[in-house]
Amino acid sequence: MSAAVSLRDVHKRFGEVEVLKGVSFDVAPGEVVAVIGRSGSGKSTALRCVNRLETIQSGEIEVHGRRVDDPQLDLRALRRDVGMVFQSYNLFPHLTVAENITLAPRRVRKTPQAEARHIAVEALARVGLSDKIDAYPEQLSGGQQQRVAIARSLAMEPKVMLFDEVTSALDPHLTGEVLKVMEALAKGGMTMLVVTHEMAFARRVADRVIFMHTGKVWETGAGEMLANPQTPELREFLANGL
């Protein structure tokens, strides 16, 4: 079976600083891959390159047969297939939850308003927020806003979901809310690439964990590797918490 996401010898620089130094890994359809590592290890940059929010200097990135590094890439088509949820919720404060979720289906897919609202209802049910459909973001907790951000991505029916440190701004209780939603998506077969500092989540939910260090894939394996790291760098990272 061909990979849903494939990175091959990817190099990325910001000016003179090389952030990704030959990164290669695959994500199979339906697989959940957690990417961990210190701040500055390149993990979030790798994620942003998958969605072409950053361009690469060399190497290849492919998502469901579409070459992301192709200069002629149809970005709209890519982003229909790839949903991304960020640390900051990026909800429009002047729009209701329903309006935030239906904006992309209506504008990108030209979905009629009534159908788009039905999509929003279904997406909100998946994240446990059906009763908040007509609320405004300021009326929601941080965890609820992040769950709306996930619902907004789900409304576009993506083939792959990218999560970039989506719980790092939340307190432990709200973090638990969001992680439960992500775990349910994983159990439902969603292909997920998750940059996270939640080691318990990575160990329990991820099919595979990638530890990045100094811009490289340093160690990779099933979640059990977090209990038995093979490199001193991963041992030190886990010993220091973050």
Q: What's the whole-model pTM score?
A: 0.93
CA distances from 77 to 27, 63, 152, 169 (A): 19, 11, 17, 30
Q: Over range 26-45, report the average pLDDT.
A: 95
**pLDDT value of residue 168:** 87
Q: Which of 6-15, 118-127, 167-176, 228-237 has the lowest mean pLDDT?
A: 167-176
Residue 242 has pLDDT above 60, yes or no: no
pLDDT in tens, 81-131: 999 998 888 899 999 999 999 999 998 889 999 999 999 999 999 999 999
Q: Which domains does the chain have, with CATH numbers?
A: 5-92+159-239 (3.40.50.300)
